[in-house]
Structure 1
Amino acid sequence: NLSSGKMRQTMQLISGGERFIGKPNADFVIEAVYEDLELKQKMVCEAFDYFGKEIVYAVNTSTLSIEQIAHQAPKPDNVIGLHYFSPVAERKMLEIIPHKTTSEQTITTAIHFAIQQGKIPLLVADSPGFFVNRILTPYLLEAIQCVIDGEAIEFVDRSLQEFGFRIGPLAMIDDMGLDVLVKSLPNLADKLGTRFTMPPRVQYLIDNDRKGAKNNRGFYLYNSQTGARKEEDGSIYHTLEIVTANDLETEQIVRRCILMMINEAGYCLQEKVIRNTDEGNVASVLGAFFPDFRGGIYAYIEKIGAKSIVAELNAHVKLYGERFVPCEWLIEKAETE
């Protein structure tokens, strides 16, 4: 923690404006404008014009292709992606995303920069959703689907907390913002399929302006003064036009949600989004909040066994549809057990 004097001294080094105002000889630039491809392409060109052709230009994005953004740059090999997680000060993981022509020097500089920031860098492929959001999103969507199917919000969250998650998936969505999650889905669904398709009734929540903690309207109620989370918002069932039936047991909810995360983790190895399971285990704990005492998502797969997981996924296909079809990596792993 900084002393108040040191904090003021540090804050004086920060300046802001509506145009580029920093030293034109900067060597590392991080862009964090909102998720719009055309805007980011414009920014990368303006940054190289202002700071010079030798800068390392880091794109902060969670959904867009780094290669598409870098394509507009005068020197594409100096462009790399950084994916910070919110809240940035509390989250140790930082995904680093080189594209096809990013130079080794640029990658090394980005990793060194991440370590200087106190982050744990994870090198991932320039693929939709990268790694953490890729495994987290189907898990979150399945939790929403459980509610739509008639399960109570607090019961769904409590079920996953009993499995070991520090926070339930619906509370997690409130923290990140349902609008943020929904905005990322079309690109993911287009590239990756029905596992990332938004349940249609979610649009009712968007139309009802349920953005979560940031506007005190989400799956939960919030204290208007402190922002503290209270009990579930019972009016959400009316908004979704559903009635709670609570037909599922705790373990059934856990399996539905966890299987979606497990299967996506398999896809990520299959498609070489990450380099190895050790890195994936660390990232799943620090980035996706997978219970640390379980050793990470791939350690959990090893413990349960791919054969058992594939059987569970196939059973869920019959119950809930093709989003549970097991990936080839899991099927091949099951055949060797």
Structure 2
Amino acid sequence: MNKDENNYQNWRLAVDADGLAWATLDKAGESTNSLSSAVMDELALILDRLDSSPPRGLIFRSGKSAGFIAGADIQEFTQLDTAAKGVALVERGWQLFNRLAAVTYPTLALVRGHCLGGGLELALACRYLLAVDEPTTRLGLPEVMLGIVPGWGGMLRLPARIGPQAALDMMLTGKSLDAKRAKRAGLADDCVPARVMDNAAALLVLADQPRRRPALLQRLLNGGPLRPLVARAARKQVGKRARIEHYPAPYAIIELWEKHQGNALAAPELIDRLVRSPTARNLVRVFFMQERLKGFGKASNFQAKRVHVVGAGVMGGDIAAWCALRGLTVTLQDQGMERIAPALQRAYAAYAKRIRDPYELRSAMDRLIPDPEGHGARSADVVIEAIFENLEAKRALLEQLDAVIKPDAVLATNTSSLRIEDLNSCLSRPGRLIGIHFFNPVAKMPLVEVVAADGADAETLARGTAFVKQIDRLPLPVKSAPGFLVNAVLGPYMLEAMRAVDEGLALETVDEAMLAFGMPMGPIELVDMVGLDVAMAAGKSLAGGNAEPPRCLVEHYNAGHLGKKAGRGFYQYRAGKVAKGVPGTVPAGLAERLLAPLLDQTQKLVSDGVVADADLADAGVIFGTGFAPFTGGPLHYMRNRSA
């Protein structure tokens, strides 16, 4: 290829023998590409250069192994302290990508790895989009997760390409598509393996064929007369998940698409309200806290290949299923196939919802191996104990595992309430036992606590943390203490909610108080999700030091109502869905009463050093409990409330 004579700091531009221009983004000094002001300014210079000497086609690709483009530069977003700066940021991308969309030569985005936010908006401004079929390839517009909107053309071009219903679903939820789903949806023109991606990209551009048009119904729904109907349905769906006073961005997306064809510049006052809102500031704060958690998993190069899980109950079985889904070979041990079979059935049902290719589905199931005799423990890189919460039973099992596993294997317990120090004294090397504590439901809860006892082996902790990152979970380092961080703050919170029920308040009313505050689930339903048996086993930890647990908890537990997994707890569950009555009027101050013990306990755990600092505590409680993200976390909420 002939390299361009211009020197760019972040781009490489070359023209090949066929006259195709290849623009490779390799952002200077960063492991991931993002669309900073400097990157966008250089892209404008590239378009200037190609205007004077048009190529046969232009192909965008990434020079990073991490992916295509992660989106806009979030650091720059934090500097938008005036209305003019916010509008200018939107205007820059909107005009530049409109210019790209209008060039006379064919353009293509070669997407390998993540293609998110502004990255997808750039790709949508190209005539063609070629997705590379790899596990890391994801395409989406997740701006709503930051409390903002896709202002650089995404709200215009995504509905035009895949239809407004599918596009709004992606934009309003932040969902992303893998390469194959992107092709099926019409977002990608084709999906190819990495070994042929450059040739496939060149052939597609040189062919210069018209893109496949969306179906007639999609075009009609995207047209003027039917837009209000689509928008009304979208608002109804959003209203089930988010209240406008907490999360204004999804409602703004609907309005901008319906009334302004996705042009955010047509409503600058709306953009200003979003960009400078407390919700956006707090969600950006949550984003950076999430990135910090991801960073903990980079302290070791450890990569597990085999995992052995002991305990095929809901937690153990789902941990095993998740690890197998992420590509690891997993052996699952319990006392006989009759105990393991339900976990395999749950795994198959969960996989079938995610995996359309029958060969991939079979492959995932083949990686999940029933192992009643526990032979897999000997060859596993990570061994996880996930049996019921009983100190003596766990100690006996851990002692057996310690005698047979590899010397360098990570030995972990998934205990939710027991101290690691009370479990590790039976081991030949007590420091090798760590906690790797998942939350229910495993496939949905992103946080995993990595628990260190006094004297814990540093290398084992680093490996355990890397393993959590390897399976696409957020590792949170915590010290060994009853309930660690998440359960220790949930205990007093759920206890206070059940005390309110003991005082005569309806279950639905108690839950509604916290739903109105912004929680994704009420505390009583949360007890059902955790399991009433787990709540009872936590004992004094849940009861906040009192000897007696709430009467309502004891009554349901004694009646065998163990929560959602049993089909009945405080509520009844039909086909996995909760059956609730209509909540009564929420008493004034109820939400503040229920929150108070959670806030106090979070602050205490930071003071006690169970978690290193307030930001990590906020991150842990958000990603481990679903604490309303728009608040920025419990301690951040406390500071702002008292300010």
TM class, shorter-length: 0.7 to 0.9
The answer to whether residue 372 in structure 2 is matched with residue 52 in structure 1 is no
| 2:510 and 2:586 in contact (8 A); partners too | no
CA distance in 1, matches of 2:368, 2:504: 50
CA distance in 1, matches of 2:494, 2:360: 40
Aligned match for 1:259, one of 585, 596, 621: 596
| 2:437 and 2:449 in contact (8 A); partners too | yes
Aligned to 1:80: 434
Aligned to 1:107: 461
Structure 1 residues 4 and 278: alpha-carbon distance in aligned structure 2, compared to 1, 3 A threshold:
farther
Q: CA deviation at 1:249?
A: 4.6
Q: Which amino acid aligns with 1:280?
A: A
Structure 1 residues 215 and 13: alpha-carbon distance in aligned structure 2, compared to 1, 3 A threshold:
closer
| 1:185 and 1:198 in contact (8 A); partners too | yes
The answer to whether residue 545 in structure 2 is matched with residue 193 in structure 1 is yes
| 1:56 and 1:79 in contact (8 A); partners too | yes
CA distance in 2, matches of 1:78, 1:159: 44
Structure 1 residues 23 and 39: alpha-carbon distance in aligned structure 2, compared to 1, 3 A threshold:
closer
Aligned match for 1:181, one of 535, 554, 576: 535
Mind listing any 5+ residue stretches in structure 2 that lack a counterpart?
A: 1-353
CA distance in 1, matches of 2:627, 2:505: 22
Aligned match for 1:142, one of 483, 496, 500: 496
Aligned match for 2:613, one of 276, 283, 289: 276
The answer to whether residue 490 in structure 2 is matched with residue 97 in structure 1 is no
Aligned to 1:334: none
Q: CA deviation at 1:197?
A: 5.0
Q: Deviations over 1:203-250 (max 9, x none)?
A: 222222222222332222332xx232122499xxxxxxxxxxx7x854
CA distance in 1, matches of 2:471, 2:588: 40
| 1:262 and 1:301 in contact (8 A); partners too | yes
Q: Deviations over 1:233-291 (max 9, x none)?
A: 99xxxxxxxxxxx7x85442101100011111121112111001111111111112210
CA distance in 2, matches of 1:222, 1:252: 29
Which protein is bigger by CA-based radius of gyration? 2
| 1:63 and 1:187 in contact (8 A); partners too | yes
| 1:84 and 1:94 in contact (8 A); partners too | yes
Q: Deviations over 1:29-70 (max 9, x none)?
A: 112122121222222222122123332211111011111211
CA distance in 1, matches of 2:576, 2:361: 26
| 2:377 and 2:404 in contact (8 A); partners too | no
Structure 1 residues 217 and 232: alpha-carbon distance in aligned structure 2, compared to 1, 3 A threshold:
farther
| 1:94 and 1:119 in contact (8 A); partners too | yes
Q: CA deviation at 1:23?
A: 6.3
Query: TM (normalized to structure 1)?
Result: 0.80
Aligned match for 1:231, one of 580, 586, 590: 580
Structure 1 residues 301 and 23: alpha-carbon distance in aligned structure 2, compared to 1, 3 A threshold:
closer
Aligned to 1:328: none
CA distance in 2, matches of 1:201, 1:86: 22
Q: Which amino acid aligns with 1:289?
A: G
| 2:491 and 2:541 in contact (8 A); partners too | no
Structure 1 residues 220 and 187: alpha-carbon distance in aligned structure 2, compared to 1, 3 A threshold:
closer
CA distance in 1, matches of 2:638, 2:377: 49
Q: Deviations over 1:174-207 (max 9, x none)?
A: 2222222121123555xx623x851245322222
The answer to whether residue 421 in structure 2 is matched with residue 67 in structure 1 is yes
| 2:535 and 2:542 in contact (8 A); partners too | no
CA distance in 1, matches of 2:620, 2:359: 35
| 1:20 and 1:50 in contact (8 A); partners too | no
SS of 1:162's partner is helix
| 1:53 and 1:75 in contact (8 A); partners too | no
CA distance in 1, matches of 2:470, 2:363: 19
Count residues in correspondence: 289
Structure 1 residues 33 and 24: alpha-carbon distance in aligned structure 2, compared to 1, 3 A threshold:
same
CA distance in 2, matches of 1:129, 1:229: 27
| 1:220 and 1:233 in contact (8 A); partners too | no
CA distance in 2, matches of 1:216, 1:144: 20
Q: Which amino acid aligns with 1:72?
A: C
Aligned match for 1:286, one of 623, 630, 635: 623
CA distance in 2, matches of 1:32, 1:257: 31
CA distance in 1, matches of 2:542, 2:516: 29
Structure 1 residues 249 and 24: alpha-carbon distance in aligned structure 2, compared to 1, 3 A threshold:
closer
| 2:488 and 2:541 in contact (8 A); partners too | no
Moved more, 282-291 or 18-27: 18-27
CA distance in 1, matches of 2:439, 2:552: 27
SS of 2:618's partner is helix
CA distance in 1, matches of 2:388, 2:559: 23
Q: Deviations over 1:64-87 (max 9, x none)?
A: 111121111112222111110011
The answer to whether residue 523 in structure 2 is matched with residue 169 in structure 1 is yes
| RMSD between aligned residues | 2.2
| 2:508 and 2:582 in contact (8 A); partners too | no
Which protein has the bigger strand share? 2
| 2:377 and 2:401 in contact (8 A); partners too | no
| 1:221 and 1:233 in contact (8 A); partners too | no
Mind listing any 5+ residue stretches in structure 1 that lack a counterpart?
A: 235-245, 307-337
Aligned match for 2:564, one of 189, 207, 213: 213
CA distance in 2, matches of 1:129, 1:4: 41
SS of 1:287's partner is helix
Bigger RCO of structures 1 and 2 (CA < 8 A, at least 6 apart): 1
Q: CA deviation at 1:124?
A: 0.6
| 2:492 and 2:542 in contact (8 A); partners too | no
